[in-house]
Amino acid sequence: MRPGKRRCSPSRGKVWTGVAKTSALRTTADTGKGIDPDGISERTTVGVFFRQAAKYGDRALIHHRIGDAWSVKSWNAMRQDVLSVASALIEAGVKSGDSVIVMSENRVEWLICDFGIQAAGAVTVPIYPNTPPEVARTIAEDSLAVLAIVSDSQLAAKLPAGGSLRQVVLMDREVRAWTDRGPTRLAEVDARLRAIRPDDMCTIVYTAGTTGVPKGVELLHRNLVDVSRAALQVHPITDADVSLSWLPYAHVYGRINEIFIGIMYGGQTWISRGPDHLAGELHEVKPTVMCSVPRVYEKMYAAVMSRVHESSRTRRAIFGWAMRVGGRFSQTAHPGPVLRAQRALADRLVLASLRTRLTGGRLRFFVSGGAGLAREIEEFFWAIGVPILNGWGLTETSSGVCSNTLYQHRFLTVGKPFPGVELKVADDGEILVKGPGNMRAYHNKPEATAEVMKDGWFYTGDIGEIDADGYLKITDRKKSLFKTAGGKYIAPQQLEHDLLSDPLITRSVIVGEGKPYVTALIVPDWDAAKKQGMDQAAVKARIQQTVDRVNAHLGQWETIKYFTMLPRDFTETSGELSLKQDVKRKVIAERYGDQIESMYTGKTKAS
């Protein structure tokens, strides 16, 4: 079935699963028409949603998989389901201001429950589905959640009822029954919607840090609304746009930038089955805009470079010429007739087919966030005609702080601040943010809040610099900086990003705190190396060339003196990566202590 083709009733956008007997319970009073969007504050997430639903009606909103086919949910169907969930929560005793957990993989029911919780005046507490049981229970206790909505019984086992948590319900059971039944408490839902104020709490998002116990970030309704409106002032997105959504909804990046901003501009969103399916879904869906993270772009780039390497000398030469032309064209404000003609030829020979193969052919731009992006990769995508707009934000700032745009862009920066956002750099290099997305507080942690919120400024923990034109460059995390034995500060993340410009390098970790010089742990892409006929010695030689290239642009004190190649990548299940897939540096330092020490004791050479 093609994306967008309905396999459900065109009047409702609803997929029925053998429960037609409940349809008799629906009446004209159940349709949600009694909800007046104008009575809901427009600076609340639900105010935005119900206004947009009234505007777009039966138009498609969310496309999601049922089995092997795409199904579509219209704005009207989504509104109906949101009201159904809100009604059921009220019947379950959920009060305005109560916390309700959502723990599930990405699926349309996640979004329905999120807005349903907020429509009932409650507060959504998202939890990653791969969160360990003890952490999930800690979050439930800290947030005083009264009810949890999970996708299946396996996840339910992580959150046994007890304490404030009175009930745990399943999306595939209770939530399905709620939406099949339809809304039953419209008058009460309407009253609660009207009572929600912009300064009311919308969600508590627990950060999945690399240091231990998560902190709950309190975000208000106006935080999400104001930040999203600011982002739409600088990005040219309309209701004609289509996005492919795959980032986890438990994190603000995907939940706000893919979903809520999508609702705000009225576009259509396809929910991906996950990163392993992105390549096929990009061809199938053909999105026009998309958010992602550097790891996805790195894999795309590596796949292209591997294919080019296997090509004939003539094809490699044509590819190289086309990329050089595309690069010049993308970085020239007013290209002349010769460059335009060259670009047209390069497009016909290489670039157009490459865009189609990588992105489906309609993508106007990517938005990148979550980590740093190597310049080579950013330049590659601009050269083929698919700009990557690198941005920056944190959970504590409701995701959005600044971003490059199609019209104001500078490589190796995260762009300029959104309208209404102020930036400054402290004496020690830490970036401070004052803006509409700044959190209210860390939940139940006044001391931790006081450490990072001072006079309206949020102390981000990121180190950076602002150039003369107002572009922000992120250097590193403050906590990641370390001193060598010689007293020199090292910013490891930038070195790691530079190494990742080599598609044969999957991951790198810079080490050297308290040591006489800097070294690196490097995870090669062994599968790609095997396909290219490279043995371990050849891989080592190739990586040495990359290290030498990176070192050529560094001060002597920060050059990488030795590296050790690791046989496998780090994993979350082994405790080496956080839920956000960030490297846990302390764990790596302990687990690979022998390999690290061998690069300093002289017992063995880098291997």
As separate numbers, helices (DSSP H) first and strands (DSSP E) second, the chain gives 22, 26
Most trustworthy range by pLDDT among 193-202, 206-215, 501-510: 193-202
Average pLDDT score over residue span 332-352: 97
Give the pLDDT confidence of 247-274 residue by residue, as tens digits: 999 999 999 999 999 999 999 999 999 9
Here the tokens at position 406 are: 């199609």
One-letter amino acid at 529 equals: A
Consecutive H or E run containing 464: strand 457-466
Rounded mean pLDDT, 396-409: 96
Class of domain 481-601: alpha beta
Establish whether domains 43-196+235-291 and 481-601 are of one fold.
no
Question: In the structure encoding, which two tokens stand for residue 235, read together?
Answer: 């990005």
Residue 604 reports pLDDT greater than 70: no
Predicted pLDDT of residue 310: 87
* Beta pairing class for 472-477 and 457-466: antiparallel
Q: Give the pLDDT score at 80.
A: 98
Mind giving me the DSSP string for 474-538? Answer: EEEEGGG-EE-TTS-EE-HHHHHHHHTTSTTEEEEEEE-TTSSSEEEEEEE-HHHHHHTT--HHH
Token pair belonging to 48 = 């935005």
Distance CA 237, CA 260 (A): 13
Which among 454, 460, 466 is positioned nearest to 478, based on CA atoms?
Answer: 460
Residue ranges of E strands in 363-452? 365-368, 388-392, 402-403, 416-417, 422-425, 430-434, 441-442
pLDDT at 208: 65
pLDDT score for 31 = 52
What 3-state DSSP class applies to 140?
helix
Residue listed under structure tokens 């492919």: 244
Q: Regarding beta strands 388-392 and 365-368, do their DSSP bridges make them parallel or antiparallel, or are they unpaired? A: parallel
Which residue blocks in 186-287 are alpha helix, DSSP H? 186-195, 221-234, 252, 261-265, 278-285
Is the pLDDT higher at 476 or at 466?
466
Of 142-156, 171-185, 358-372, the range with the lowest mean pLDDT is 358-372
Q: Using an 8 Å Cβ cutoff, are 220 and 429 in contact?
A: no
- Please say whether the beta carbons of 520 and 565 come within 8 A: no
pLDDT value for 568: 94
Report d(CA 500, CA 534) in Å as an integer: 19
Q: Give the whole-angstrom CA distance, residue 191 versus residue 49.
A: 16
Q: For residues 235 and 264, is the Cβ–Cβ distance under 8 A?
A: no
Give the H or E element holding residue 167: strand 167-170
| pLDDT at position 288 over 60 | yes
Q: What integer pLDDT is reported at residue 523 of this predicted model?
A: 96
On whether the CB atoms of residues 211 and 150 are closer than 8 A, the answer is no
Contact criterion met (CB below 8 Å) for 54 and 7: no
Least confident interval from 10-24, 44-58, 429-443, 541-555? 10-24
Write the pLDDT tens digit of every residue in 446-468: 999 999 999 999 999 999 999 99
Instruction: Provide the phi-psi class of 399: left if phi over 0, else alpha when psi is between -120 and 50, else beta.
Output: left
What the block records as the tokens of 415 is 């762009």
Q: Is residue 387 a contact partner of residue 381, using CB atoms and an 8 Å limit? A: yes
CB atoms within 10 A of CB 559: 16
Fold classification of 43-196+235-291 (topology level): Rossmann fold (3.40.50)
What pLDDT band is residue 300 in, cutting at 50, 70 and 90? very high
**Of 66-70, 509-513, 576-580, where does mean pLDDT reach its minimum?**
576-580
Q: Is the pLDDT of residue 25 over 80?
A: no
Q: In this structure, are residues 71 and 63 in contact, taking their beta carbons and an 8 Å threshold? A: yes
* 292-478 is a CATH 1.20.1250.20 domain: no
Average pLDDT on 400-412 reads: 95
**What one-letter code names the amino acid at 183?**
P
Distance (Å, rounded) from C-alpha 584 to C-alpha 591?
A: 11
Burial bucket for residue 419 (CB in 10 Å: 0-12, 13-18, 19+)? middle
Check residue 22 and give its pLDDT. Answer: 33
pLDDT at 341 over 80: yes
Distance CA 370, CA 493 (A): 13
Helix (H, G, I), strand (E, B) or coil at 565: strand
Mean pLDDT value of segment 39-61: 98
SS3 457: strand
pLDDT at 13 over 90: no
CB burial of 566-588 (b: ≥16 within 10 Å; e: otherwise) equals beeebeeeeebbbbbeebbbebb
For residue 244, list its beta bridge partners: 270
pLDDT (mean) for 396-400? 95
14: CB partners within 8 A, 6+ apart: 8, 73, 77, 80
Surface-to-core class of residue 260, CB atoms within 10 Å of its CB (0-12 exposed, 13-18 middle, 19+ buried): buried
Residues contacting 112, CB < 8 A, separation 6+: 78, 81, 82, 85, 175, 179
Angle at 274 between CA 58 and CA 153, to 5 degrees: 85
Report the mean per-residue pLDDT for the chain: 90
Q: Where are the domains of the chain?
A: 43-196+235-291, 292-478, 481-601
> Cα(147)–Cα(99) distance, rounded to whole angstroms?
7
What is the structure's pLDDT at 9? 34
Question: pTM of the prediction?
Answer: 0.83
